Structure 1
Amino acid sequence: MSRSRELSDAAWARIESLMPVASARGGRPFQDHRRVVEAIIWRYRVGSPWRDLPAEFGPWQTAWKRHRRFSEDGTWDKIHAELLRDADEGEGIDWQVSVDSTINRAHQHATNLPRSTGGSSNYRNLRVEPADHAIGRSRGGLSTKIHQLVDGRGLPLVVAVSPGQSGDAPMFPLLMSHLRVERAGLGRPRTRPDAVRGDKAYSSRAIRSHLRSRGITAVIPEPADQAGHRKRRGSRGGRPPAFDADSYRGRNVIERGFCGTKQWRGLATRYDKLAIVYRGAAVLRAITLWLTRLGDTP
């Protein structure tokens, strides 16, 4: 396999039929999907500017335009969903899920678009560009967060992005609302994990109530300030929340999973101006990781 070959034949065979035949906007049918997809993967793996794509991948404009289109129209999400369905059919999904985020610096090339910084943007639709382009100012400067729900082995189930200064807890309902794994046969999609593991950032009454109402076990430690406030209220403070320390040890899979995601330099540092394009690349990375899990090693 050449250095520019980013997908094995088996991996491409699994996703080829899921690629769109023609644009929904009309026009000529798409051609050479494999070369374009491999160009996109190469670009994010290396962290190269689009204009520096090797000539063997074809025009860089084609790779850029198709990646943006597939990020907006849901092509990457559709492929990801199909791989999740195949994995769940073969019992390849561990439903002891973990939630967390990782912060990534935004390169100066990603921050030269006008953006709204006066208030929070609506992130309910993951494929609509937010007014702030999911770029915010944290201690390290301009940055973006990637939020993920991962299965018990650390592979992404849901991917979202937000500004670097945003909190983790407010994004939790959004991640849970997009957790949806179709059944291979009859039956409704699975939307409820067995348990959710999260760090102290996710210890809020709203999150615990949400999980309890759906019969999902919360494996979330209680911060010291919340414990002290509860104790000061006496009997009105209620009982301490249940916490399974043994199960919580499995939460490290999401930390290790982020290490795998950031093996792509174009994700470890954000070079994309648009949030939907950057998120699309994170979903594409999730696709390659699931292909490896399913035995179709890229």
Structure 2
Amino acid sequence: MQRSKLRLLATSFGTALALLAAPAFAGTTIVADPTDDALGITPSGLVYGDFDIDLTSVRIDHGTQSLQLVSTFSYTNADSWTVLRASVDTNSDGVEDYFILWSKEDGVAGVLDAAENVTCTSIATAEKLGVNGTATVTVPRSCLGNPAAVAIHVDVLWAGYNTSGAELYFVDSAPGQFADEPPVFSPRVASSNTGTVTSPQPPAPAPAPERTRVALKLTKKVQIVGKTRVTLRINVTGAPAGRVEIADGRKVLKRLPLKAGKGASFKLPKTLKPGSHRLKVTFSPTDKSRFAPSNATVVLRVRR
């Protein structure tokens, strides 16, 4: 039932266009529309004004998952318009490839291709009434063939009859005018170029932590058991605050705090056994988001 209504609605715009007997009112901006230029198609001819259907702009938001169109009016009430139609050019050729239809009166909304085959009925709609009222449609990009970029033309229509039973149409468009042939399309909008709710941009990556480097120096290269004690001096490039751990193989000898701008020193135990000792110093910064950890090794010889 919904698909049949959408196909019937598609013909209403063609009927209105056939009633035009004069060229369209010329000149609009790219995605903004002048005020008081809504077109009235009446038995007595064409008239221009706001008619409570004065479209002022269309915001195009082409996201990673959805295409959202927000049409803004000077003022709207519940009866200002009945059908919104948005032409979508996906091939950069100025020709409609799909169109989005939303009929408030019939309670249906969907997407059709150029041959008027319904491709999607799962679209979201929202309306805000009053000054600067809006009509918003959000369409999954899959309904439009997942295009890399789109260009848009929007027509908003009120259709009805006068007291004599004659058909009446009031319509406003952006960009361009309803009777433009071919229709005027907006500039192409690539997917994910706005970063709004429908096209969220990933947060900027956090800057990589600054590299640090541990520098070690022994006051002597050889320590004599029970007689001398060698001091290990530690410095870290940039001198950020943190902690250093001093290990002899798998055995931790000491953990020391390191103040910003300061180095550290440690007297090695005089009980170290004779032989080669591979001393490893590991630096852990206090601010891990700004500074990276690092380590270094030095070899001490111990003899009797």
TM-score (norm 1): 0.22
Structure that is richer in strand per residue: 2
Greater relative contact order structure (CA < 8 Å, 6+ sep): 1
TM-score (norm 2): 0.22
Structure with the greater alpha carbon radius of gyration: 2
